[in-house]
Structures are given as C-alpha cells and as structure tokens.
Amino acid sequence: MNRMKRIHTRDILTALLLIPTMFALGACQTAWQARQKADADEFAVKYFGDLKNNPNIMVLPSGVMYEILRPGAGPFPTANDTAKVNYIGRLADGAIFDSSYDRDEPADFPLNKLVPGMTEALQKINKGGKIRIHIPYEQGYGGDEQGDGKIPAYSILVFEVELLDFRPTPMSSFY
C-alpha cells in the first residue's frame, strides 16, 4: 500500500509539473500562429494593393480579384454546376502546388465544393474562357495548411483556369 501511495503521489507531482509546460507550449504555438497571420496580412495588403493598379483586374466584394485572359461564349456557370476545367494552382510567389496539365487530364469540380473564392470567380467566365483568379486566404484555406504542406496556412492562392465545359451538378452531389 505504501508503494501504491508513492507511485500515486509521484504521478500527481509529475502531472503538476507538466501542466505549466503544456500551457507554455500552447502559448508559444498561439504566438507563432498570430505572427504567421500578421505576416500574411502584411503581405496581402501589398500584394492585392499592387493588383488594384492593373486596369484589367476586377475586384469582387469578397476581395477576390480576377482577370479574364480569354473571353468565352454563352452562359455562365452557377454555384450549382459542375465545371470541367484545366488549371494551374500557384502560391503568390509562383510556386505551383497543383496542375491538371501535369496529369494530362481536365478536372471536374462541383463549384459549390471548392474554396469560396474559386466558386465565386468561376461564375465570372463562360465556356471556352480563361481566367486568372487571386484568392485572399480568407476566401481560400484560411489558417489551415493543405496538400501535405504544399499550401501553407494563410496563403494567397492564384489559379489560372480554362473553363472547358459545365453542366448541372446532380442532386446526389449535394449530400
């Protein structure tokens, strides 16, 4: 019994010593995330500020910016459509994180399943058109890292997208 009491007391003391360490580590992580976000915000102000000087850039209310590289023809897709596209996804520094061209195959995406900035901007181009989209992190992946680290938290996303076709998304895709 005495041995049990000692083990129990030792475990309690260990836990009491670890608790402040865990709080300190959590505070360090929170401070690091806050610094990362502040750096991203500072970069975004300059990046999007520079884009606003380009007369070919259109600005959506959400802050997403786009440029029509090649106009298409006919109707525009809606958020409830599935788009067949070729695309290149880049970070603001130009690093490619994804490309349908590399796979030699267009991609089919229900627009309402994409990041909000992509859903919004793809409704601004019609079939056969090509668009470059600049997505603030708030309309992209936010503070979450994606793609096994290829897309860091708070990243501005830049997509160049060719809208090859679109069709209504089957209702089963909404559930």
Q: What are the tens digits of pLDDT across the range 85-113?
A: 999 999 999 999 999 999 999 999 999 99
DSSP 57: -
Listed in order, strand segments (DSSP E) in 44-106 are: 58-59, 65-70, 81-91, 96-99
Ranking 27-41, 70-84, 87-101, 118-132 by mean pLDDT, the lowest is 27-41
Alpha-carbon gap, residue 157 to 155, rounded angstroms = 6
**Which residue type sits at 120?**
E
Two tokens, residue 100: 């349908």
Count of other CB atoms within 10 angstroms of residue 110: 16
Residue 144's pLDDT is what?
Answer: 87
Strands 107-110 and 130-135 come out as unpaired
pLDDT at 173 over 70: no
pLDDT above 90 covers a percentage of the chain that reads 69
Rounded to two decimals, the pTM is 0.80
Domains of the chain: residue spans and CATH:
57-174 (3.10.50.40)
